[in-house]
Amino acid sequence: MDEYYRILESLPPALRTPLAKLDAHYAPHIQEIRLRLGQPVQFTIRGRLCPAAKFLPGTGLPAALETDTLRDCFLQLCRRSVYAYEDELKQGYFTVQGGCRIGVAGCRGPGGFSAVTSLNLRIARWLTCPLPPELEALTVAPTGGLLLAGPPGSGKTTLLRSLVQKLCEGDALVSVIDERGELMACEAGSLPRAAQIRCDVYARCTKAEGIAMALRCMNPQVIVCDELGTPGDAEAVAQGVASGVVFFATVHCDDPAGLRKKPALAALLDTGAFAKAVFLSGRSRPGAVAQWVTL
């Protein structure tokens, strides 16, 4: 069963029933399900928005989403326990079982979202891709850190996951810090995907906490992190560098100049953890390398 149908299990019947009628041929191509107040349901396919009704004529999809429907979706996805996702919601999203990230927009106050006007269900799939020869060579004897950079949707996580798999085919000691539960497709209470790969995974903890625990307990040679860029990340990475660890990580950045324009990314470079950066092509060619940069 494609992950598209799995995420539908978390939606109320008013949306789950019509959306579940999608032909299985189309399901693997759905990247996002977009729910907006007053608007019809939309899909993201190959980085472009299109009406869900185009693929689901006559199924009873609402012509426009109402406030109560959107709020019910939000609560269902949170399993009626919004407090359990408070930390993530402060950043405008939360991650559900299987690594699917739910983006949230609306009216936010001191106690959380008082009104939800948009939900973006980003469907996480266990995808990997072939590694270019230059990247594969880095996994054989990792001696210098690597940053994978690109805009959202450019395939950074997929390429990083592929690097993890290749690294773990050898004898390297690898720790993965999977803060959002997306990189290793973490399920609630278990890590079935990670169990198939010879690495140590720290899921649903901050990168600073995960790096500290890995250094303290697992003696890693390589630490892998997805989406570095918060103020505390550079300090945690610096501690790893001091212990002789090599880092493979992703960052949101469109071009080499941007690495120095963002203070948090500039601080990462100043740690000396990264010898090279790879910039990806973008949404049109996910996972494709556009440029190598020596840092």
Into which CATH architecture does domain 133-294 fall?
3-Layer(aba) Sandwich (3.40)
> 163: Cβ–Cβ under 8 A, 6 or more apart, which residues?
131, 135, 138, 139, 146, 224, 248
The whole-angstrom separation of Cα 19 and Cα 282 is 29
User: Which regions of the chain carry the CATH code 3.40.50.300?
Assistant: 133-294
* Helix, strand, or coil (residue 175): strand
The CATH code that applies to domain 3-122 is: 3.30.450
* Helix, strand, or coil (residue 253): coil
Q: Compute the Cα dihedral for 231, 234, 237, 242 and give only its sign.
A: negative
Give the pairing type, strands 274-280 and 145-150: parallel
Identify the DSSP state of 172.
-
- 95-132 burial code (b ≥16 CB/10 A, e <16): bbbbbbbbebbbeeeeeebeebbebbbbbbbeeeeebe
The whole-angstrom separation of Cα 5 and Cα 287 is 25
Per-position pLDDT tens, the chain of length 295: 788 999 999 999 999 999 999 999 999 999 999 999 999 999 999 889 999 999 999 999 999 999 999 999 999 999 888 988 888 898 899 988 777 889 999 998 887 888 999 999 999 887 888 898 999 998 988 888 999 999 888 889 999 999 999 999 988 999 999 988 788 865 544 455 556 788 999 988 899 999 999 999 999 999 999 999 888 899 999 999 999 999 999 999 999 999 999 899 999 999 999 999 999 988 778 888 999 999 9
Of 269, 105, 98, 258, whose CA–CA distance to 180 is shortest?
98
Question: DSSP readout, 105-144?
Answer: EEEEETTEEEEEEEEEEE-------PPPHHHHHHHHS--S
- Start-to-end CA span in the chain (Å): 43
User: Which regions of the chain carry the CATH code 3.30.450?
Assistant: 3-122
Q: Are 177 and 214 in contact (CB under 8 A)?
A: yes
Tell me the pTM.
Answer: 0.77
The whole-angstrom separation of Cα 225 and Cα 274 is 13
